[in-house]
Amino acid sequence: MLNYGALDWRLIGAVILLTLIGVVLIMSAQHGAGTDYERSYYLRQLMWLVVALVAFAVVIHLPLRLLDATAYMGYAVVLILLGLVLFVGSSRSGATRWFSFGFINFAPSDVAKLTVLLALSRFFAYSKLPPASKRRLAMSAMLVAVPVALILKQPDLGTSLVFWAILFGLWFWSGLAPGYLILIVSPIVSFAAAFHWLPWVLYFIVLMVGLFLFRPGLAYSLVAVISNLAFGAVQPFIWNRLADYQKLRILTFLDPGRDPRGAGYQIIQSKIAIGSGGVWGNGLFGGSQTRLEFLPERHTDFVFSVLGEEFGLWGTTLVVLLLGYILYRGIRIAGKCRSKFASNMAFGAVAVLMFQMFVNIGMTLGFMPVTGLALPFLSYGGTSLVLTWVLIGLIVAADYHWQEY
């Protein structure tokens, strides 16, 4: 049996508090909705909280060795599920992401986050290769690329980005110098800069200077230059292959005003909601953007905007600081774990939560594109809530067992 007194109760308390704030916000978001079903979203979220707590309890009781030993097996099972969902999954708004069990929908991509996290944690814990070894980088990238490829086919850009965030976090955590990380990201920057030849040329000059100063070795330099050239060159072709809604999202992110009634609408309305809240907010149920349905997706992706409108700067600051505290605890726990696997696992969980937090809140503030990523703990969504609680479970378990090797 666990010694419950030794659990990180402050961390758990912060997570419970956040989840309950989320429930209140969901209640407010759908307060004026037309149907009983919509108005009862918060009750369903409460029900999911119970499920999440059970999952959390199960996770913290699992021996870490078991998670470690079964990591690759779980990974394989999820790969099969991801393949399957493409054929038998149910569709909603152009995306096939869910297995439908009656009224409960189950998205394997959420579970995939967990299994990829565990598999990567195991890989980095036992790989004898040096952190900057090409084989190590390539193998770990493959572990992510296969499930991401399956998810991209669904298609779900936002979720697939989370996987890369895990990989990135663990590359860093397993000792890869930041210079390499920048090099690895550089082709994406090249891709983005290639919208016009002038920024691209400027960027390329900066890249060459960086390579000269950093001296990562001939092979890395060559790969970096070639991949940068290649990404810059294929950019127009890739752009043309993107779905219209994806193009629009990117363009609208760059300039929300270009389509104020369509894709830019969400961002504009979200900014209005948060900004109109001011310091003290309009009070619970008092947000007109929320109540009058100007705010889209207000119980899921844009739940933070409801918070901003109804609770103002003090409410948003409180939530950001609570999230920050949770992530801070996660990093500290990952830092003190003696077991490499546990440490990786905790840090991977931090990477997922931090990425989702930053992208989601950034989106509601208008400086991140609309990706459809949920805000951990607060957004409505059963699978998402359970998953985030499981991630917290991993962190709490790592903390509890920190002295074990």
Per CB under 8 A, residues contacting another protein are 130-132, 172-173, 175-179, 215-217, 261, 269, 271-279, 288-289, 292-294, 308, 312-313, 316-317, 320-321, 324, 327-328, 331-332, 334-335, 347, 350, 354, 357-358, 361-362, 365-367
User: Is 27 or 363 the residue whose CB approaches another protein more closely?
Assistant: 363
Q: How far is the CB of 232 from another protein (least distance, A)?
A: 26
Token pair of 171 as six digits: 């590359």
User: Is 12 or 327 the residue whose CB approaches another protein more closely?
Assistant: 327
Instruction: Give burial (CB, 10 Å; 0-12/13-18/19+) of 94.
Output: exposed
CB 267 within 8 A of CB 256: yes
User: Is 109 or 174 the residue whose CB approaches another protein more closely?
Assistant: 174
Among candidates 218, 364, 214, which has minimal Cα distance to 300? 364
Q: How far is the CB of 23 from another protein (least distance, A)?
A: 22
DSSP code of residue 260 = T
Q: How far is the CB of 211 from another protein (least distance, A)?
A: 13
Q: How far is the CB of 227 from another protein (least distance, A)?
A: 18
User: Is 61 or 215 the residue whose CB approaches another protein more closely?
Assistant: 215
Q: How far is the CB of 399 from another protein (least distance, A)?
A: 14
CB 322 within 8 A of CB 330: no
The contacts of residue 253 (CB under 8 Å, 6+ apart) are: 267, 368, 369, 370
Reading phi first (left if > 0) and then psi (alpha if -120 to 50, else beta), residue 283 is in left
* Paired residues of 155 in beta bridges: none
User: Is 77 or 248 the residue whose CB approaches another protein more closely?
Assistant: 248
Q: How far is the CB of 82 from another protein (least distance, A)?
A: 30
CB 377 within 8 A of CB 365: no
- C-alpha 97/C-alpha 151 separation (Å) is 8
User: Is 44 or 336 the residue whose CB approaches another protein more closely?
Assistant: 336
- C-alpha 23/C-alpha 303 separation (Å) is 10
CB 136 within 8 A of CB 167: no
Q: How far is the CB of 362 from another protein (least distance, A)?
A: 7
Token pair of 155 as six digits: 């298609």
User: Is 109 or 282 the residue whose CB approaches another protein more closely?
Assistant: 282
